[in-house]
Each structure stands twice: as structure tokens, then as C-alpha cells.
Structure 1
Amino acid sequence: MRIGILGGTMDPVHFGHLRSAEEIRENLVLDQVWFVPAARPPHKSEETITPFGHRLQMVKLATAGVEYFRPAAMESERSGPSYSVDTLRILKEKYGTEVHFFFILGSDAFLEIETWKEFHRLTEFASLVIAGRIRHGWENVRQVVSRGFPEHEASCHGDVFTASGKGDIIFQNVTRLEISGTDIRQRVRTGRSARFLVPEAVRQYMKKNSLYIKVAKKKKSSAHGRPASEELAQTIAYEIVENKGEEVTLLDVRGRSSIADFYIIAHGRSTRHVQGIASKMRKNLSRRKIKCRGVEGEQEGTWILIDFDDVVVHLFHEPVRRFYDLEGLWSQAPRTELETDSGR
């Protein structure tokens, strides 16, 4: 029996996951594809991801009615971080030679595989299927194969690497849907639609359970008499300006958004610049006992969302800011004048 294993946070599962699984199943003639959401991803804090039960339920809804797609909760059945090598080892011990497993991961994830626990042992338990688009970055993938899996040699076709007694490493061309969990979460949190990015049953589940939307809290006032959220927004905006954020805009969305009282929108000239603004701002604010509840998109640096409860910060790479145009989306929200007193 040939079974594909598709892991990841799946927060939430979306059409990108489903389409890739379908094409790989078809091309490699797999009997089933198991969707295995990570219970405790080692690279993420449990505080920043949706509880496992919700993520598993969304996978069940997304795969319902597809006989060869199977949701699997196996990573919740053991303690500790959800390491892929441990999952594959357990599966190999349980099923032995009766099942040939194919571990599916995106080309972006494979480029970071050398940071994974015991990554070099993965092919002892399964073949690796690297999903991406042919002629888009495959040379970098080949370099990782050469460094991390030196026993594997390229076949005559160049898209399969083999080694005696181990699983293959297979390059698999799939339709690349530009959908990500980060983008979906950000859309929901800014009041935009996730329709047609996730199955409708998943979208309805997200809505019913208020996933990715904060619950409103009782508002407090600062020592100066004005709302504490306004004081906080000015403090954060000042830090962004000090760290060279450009075109800093402070939107008063009180009464207009159930997510926050203020949105702060700014951009940087490059993804590295955006990442630098976010990192320095958070460190400076942390020293003043101002801590964020969560961060989205920091690794990519094109759109970083930072949640400070009643204040949500959107840091963009400039072209991405123009594309999404949050100011246009919230055109009815009043702009609040920034205070630039360096003594804040």
C-alpha cells in the first residue's frame, strides 16, 4: 500500500493543501493521503497557534467525502514537540513493509530541512516528496539534497534521487496556489473575506467558533484620562517612527471593528527592513513592559501583523501595502494625528 503523509500546522487547512495532495496522489498513484496536523510544532509557540482540536476538526471538514483523504490525529497522541522524524519512525514501526510512506512537504520547507531534528534519518522511514513548480528554485533544492542526503544520487530523469535501502527523494511539480495560512488569518483579523481560499465548511466553522477573531474586552482609561488604547497606539506608533517605519498611519476603528480600537499601518523599503522594524520595536516596547499577544508573517517579512490587544500593527513591504490597501478598506475610519514627542 502507498500512503502519502501531509503534515504541517494547518492553521487553517486550505485549498493549497488539498490541491497539492490531490495532484501528488494522482501522479504517484497513492492509495491514500493522510493529513497529519502538528499538535505542538517545534518552531512555534502554542500560544500563537489555534488549539489542536479546532485544527483537526477543520481538516475533517475539508476532507469529508473524499474516500482517499484521511485526517489523522496521531501527533496529539504523544507528548512533547511534533517532530516529523518521530512520526515517521512510529508509522514505520507500526506498519513495517506493508506500507510505503511518502512524506510530502513544500519546496520552501525542504530548503530549511537541515534545521530539523534528525533530518538525515527521514528517508530511513519514508520517501520524501518535495512539492513545487519546476524551474522555480529547484537548483537550491538540489543543493540541499546534495548536502543533507549525500548517499542519494540523481536518476536519469533528474527529478528522483535514490539510495540503496532508503526512500527516494522525489521532485514533484504541482499547481502552485498562492494561498497561505498566514494570509488567511490576517484577512480574517482585518475583516476581509476568506471565501474561496478554504472549503466552505471550514470557513463556516471558523466563523461559528470565532477563530482568528478576538473577543472584545472592557476598555480601560489611562492616567491621562483618555482611553488606554489610544495611549498605547501613540506609544507604538512612536516606536515605529523611531525605527524608520515609513508613512505611519494611525486609524481609529473604535465602533467599526470588533478586533481592535486602533490599526497602525506602516511600511519598509524591503522585507529585511520590515523585519528589522518589527524586531526592534518589540524589543523596545518589551523593556517598557508592553508585550504583544502574537505575531504573524515575521519570517516572510512582506506583511507582519503584531497584536497588542486593542492595537493591531500592520507592517508591510511597500508594494504589498499598496496591493492590499488597508487604508482604502478602512477609508471611513478617522486618521489620528501622531504625537512625535521623543520624551514619550
Structure 2
Amino acid sequence: MKYGILGGTFDPIHLGHLRTAEEMVQELGLAKLFLIPAASPPHKHRRPVSAFHHRLKMAQLAIGNSDSLQVLDVEGKRQGPSYSIDTLKELAYSLGPENDLYFVLGLDGFFEIHTWKKYQDLFGVTHFVLVNRRGYQFQDIFPYLDRLGLRYTKTQNPDQVLMESGRWLLHKRSTQMDISSTHIRELVQRGRSIRFLVPDNVMKYIYEKGLYT
């Protein structure tokens, strides 16, 4: 079976995250997609991040009783920075070799993968689903992969690349919503409405807990 993974700081989770998750479940035929809040994001050191329990709760509220989406607190149970390679290996082990992982990542984020811990090992653990982002082209991954020394084979499908490890890089298009967690936090700080940017129950939680003020 196929299982998707969408990680992030989710500070806060918003409708753009949820729409991408929903569309990838349908595009890939996933049995389930796991939303995984990062407990201690190694690349978010430039600003304070809301406490993990708040970000976890908002993600849980956001998906409600969804059959296809599930929030995992796997990174909250570990000490230290949240590294994707550790999370992916843990999930791969728990799901078993008969199941495949599909790591959903924006094209912009993929071009930062050389800064990740043991990034070469990621290509032996999971398939990558690279979602379109404004200003980025899927074809630009080829010179990037070359610079990293990663071997691959192009296929007749321009949106599919087979890595030497046997894992796939898949290019998928999702609805681009002009929403960002940064903008939402700024709106709250300025006392402006965030309705229709986040689910109503997430908005209520933000106001009740005094987040981002």
C-alpha cells in the first residue's frame, strides 16, 4: 500500500496545507497521508516556533475525523532536532517493506535538500512527490541532482524520474493557494481576521490560546 508524508512546522496549519494533502491522496491513490509536525525544526532557528503541543493540536483539529489524513506526533516523542531521515526510517520500519512511502515536498524545499541530515540516504527510503511552486521548474532538478552526484534515469514521462535506488521522483501539480503561515501570524499580531485562511476550529484555538499576539 502507499502512504504519504507531509511534514512541516505547521505554525499554524492552514487551508493550503490541507488542500495539498487532500489532492495528493487522490492523485497518488494513497491509503493514508500522515501530517507530521516538526517538534524542533532544524531549519527554523531564525524565529521562535510555537510550542509543539499547540502545533500538534491545531493539526489534529484541522483534519477532524478524516479517513484519509492522520496526524502523527512521532517527532514530538524524540529529543533534539527533528530530522526527516530519522522520521522516515522509523515510519518505514513500522509500516514494513511491503508498503511504500511517498514524501510530499514543494519544489522549493527540494532544492534545499543538500542541507538536510544524511540527504543521500533519503532516496533509499522514500519516493519523492515534488509539488509545483511559483518560480520553480521540475526540469531544474536535473542539474541539481548532477551537482549532488545522485544518479537517475529520465523516463518518457517528463514528470517521472527513476533514481538509482529504485525510488521515484514524481512531479505533481496542486492548487496554489496564496496562503502562508507567516502571513497568518502577522495578521493575528495586527488584530486582523484570519477567517477562511485556516479551519474555523483552528482559528478559535489560536484566539483562545493567545497564539501569535
> TM class, shorter-chain normalised?
over 0.9
Partner of 2:4: 4
Aligned-pair CA distance for 1:173: 1.0
Distance in 1 (alpha carbons) for counterparts of 2:134 and 2:160: 13
- Residue number in structure 2 paired with 1:128: 128
Q: Which residue of 2 aligns with 1:162?
A: 162
Partner of 2:148: 148
Aligned to 2:181: 181
Q: 2:138 is matched with which residue?
A: 138
Specify the alignment match of 1:66 in structure 2.
Answer: 66
Give the letter for the 1:178 counterpart. D
- Aligned-partner residue type, residue 91 of structure 1: L
Shift of 1:76: 0.9
Aligned to 2:198: 198
Cα pair distance change 1:87/1:98, threshold 3 Å: same
Summarize the Cα distance change of 1:173–1:142 in structure 2 as closer, same or farther, 3 Å threshold. Answer: farther
Aligned to 2:18: 18
Q: Over the residues paired in the alignment, what is the CA RMSD in angstroms?
A: 1.8
Q: One-letter code of the match for 2:59?
A: V
Question: Which segment is superposed worse, 138-147 or 117-126?
Answer: 138-147
Q: Deviations over 1:182-226 (max 9, x none)?
A: 11111111111111111111001101111101xxxxxxxxxxxxx
Give the conservation status (yes or no) of the 8 Å contact 1:130–1:169.
yes
1:1-344 map, 5 Å: 1-45=1-45, 48-133=48-133, 136-148=136-148, 150-213=150-213
Alpha-carbon shift at residue 143 of structure 1 (Å)? 2.8
Please give the alpha-carbon distance, in whole angstroms, between the structure 1 residues aligned to 2:149 and 2:25: 24
Structure 1: how far apart are the matches of 2:197 and 2:109? 21
> What is the Cα deviation at residue 163 of structure 1?
2.8
Over 3 Å counting, the alpha-carbon distance change for 1:120 and 1:165 in structure 2 is closer
Change (3 A) 1:72 1:155: same
* One-letter amino acid of the counterpart of residue 174, structure 1: S
CA distance in 2 between counterparts of 1:36 and 1:205 reads 19
CA displacement at 1:140 relative to structure 2:
2.8
State the shift of 1:93 in Å. 2.2
Listed one character per residue, the Cα deviations across residues 275-311 of structure 1 (whole Å, up to 9, x for unaligned) are: xxxxxxxxxxxxxxxxxxxxxxxxxxxxxxxxxxxxx
Q: Is the 8 A contact 1:133 1:174 kept in 2?
A: no
The 3 A distance-change label for structure 1 pair 164 and 65 is same
Deviation at 1:149, TM superposition (A): 6.0
Gaps of 5+ in 1: 214-344
Deviation at 1:139, TM superposition (A): 3.3
Change (3 A) 1:175 1:141: farther
Q: Distance in 2 between matches of 1:135 and 1:116?
A: 22
Question: Residue 48 of structure 1 aligns to a residue in which SS?
Answer: coil
Structure 1 Cα separation of the partners of residues 10 and 135 of structure 2:
27
Larger Rg: 1
Which consecutive unaligned segments of at least 5 residues does structure 2 have? none
Q: Percent identity?
A: 38
| Cα displacement (A) at 1:150 | 2.5
For 1:211, the aligned partner's letter is L
**TM-score, reference length from structure 1:** 0.59
CA–CA separation in structure 1 for the residues paired with 2:149 and 2:71: 30
Between Structure 1 and Structure 2, how many residues are aligned? 213
With over 3 angstroms needed to count, the CA separation of the structure-2 counterparts of 1:197 and 1:190, relative to structure 1, is same
Deviations, residues 19-61 of structure 1 (Å, cap 9, x unaligned): 1111111111111000000000011239700000000000000
Residue aligned with 2:79, SS: coil
